[in-house]
Amino acid sequence: MMMTPDELREEASRVLDTCLDELIHAGSLPQDSLIVLGCSTSEVAGARIGRGSVPDFGLVIAQSMISVCFERGMHPVFQCCEHLNRALVMEQEVLERLRLTRVHAIPQPKAGGSVPTGAWKLLEHPVLAQAVQADAAIDVGDTFVGMHIRPVAVPLRGVYSSLGQAHLTMAYSRWPLIGGERAVYTEPSV
């Protein structure tokens, strides 16, 4: 039996809150970090990805993500599905500050996905960016958010491995380590 939007609201808030705390801690993420959420509401509801979009779930999950990010001074970014070339919904201020390429479309449940559609409705000034290199990401339903994480992506196993019926994975980014064994990665003590 599929959960109700109210049941999902409680679970999504708890799971995303914990995931964000784990990412912040493991990746030492500063405020103003970008956190991408890729999410299949089909998978959350127990259907195959792209086969059973649930717009009510999209609104609930988007609201939960926005809330947990804003509480911590982070910027939520929402990955669309392949029908919009995995473009990303975000606040216009973030797109402009990062000088990202804006694209023109408005996500819909069957062209973009239910979570980005929900985010579009909830954000103050939503826009669509072609791509981003975020600091971390949460992937609900195996949507492949890795293309939007800054290199080097570090997988993170957290307390939760699912949201609803969907598989959940996370990753944060770290700076590339270059130079081999002779390289120094921290400032020497004086």
Look at the alpha carbons of 152, 157, 163, 164 in this order and tell me if their dihedral is positive or negative: positive
pLDDT attached to residue 190: 58
Q: Burial of 31 by CB count in 10 Å (0-12 exposed, 13-18 middle, 19+ buried)?
A: exposed
Could you tell me the two tokens for 12? 């999504």
Burial of 52 (0-12, 13-18, 19+ CB in 10 A): middle
Helix (H, G, I), strand (E, B) or coil at 162: strand
Please give the biggest Cα pair distance in the chain: 63
The letter for the amino acid at 85 is N
Residue 104 has a pLDDT of 95
> pLDDT in tens for each of the 190 residues of the chain?
778 999 999 999 999 999 999 999 999 999 999 999 999 999 999 999 988 899 999 999 999 999 999 999 999 999 999 999 999 999 999 999 999 999 999 999 999 999 999 999 999 999 999 999 999 999 999 999 999 999 999 999 999 999 999 999 999 999 988 888 788 877 766 5
Domains and CATH numbers, the chain: 5-176 (3.40.50.10360)
Q: Which residues contact 14 (CB under 8 A, 6 or more apart)?
A: none
What pLDDT score does 188 carry?
Answer: 67
d(CA 186, CA 24): 21
> What pLDDT was estimated at residue 125?
98
Residue pair 92/125 in contact (Cβ under 8 Å)? The answer is yes
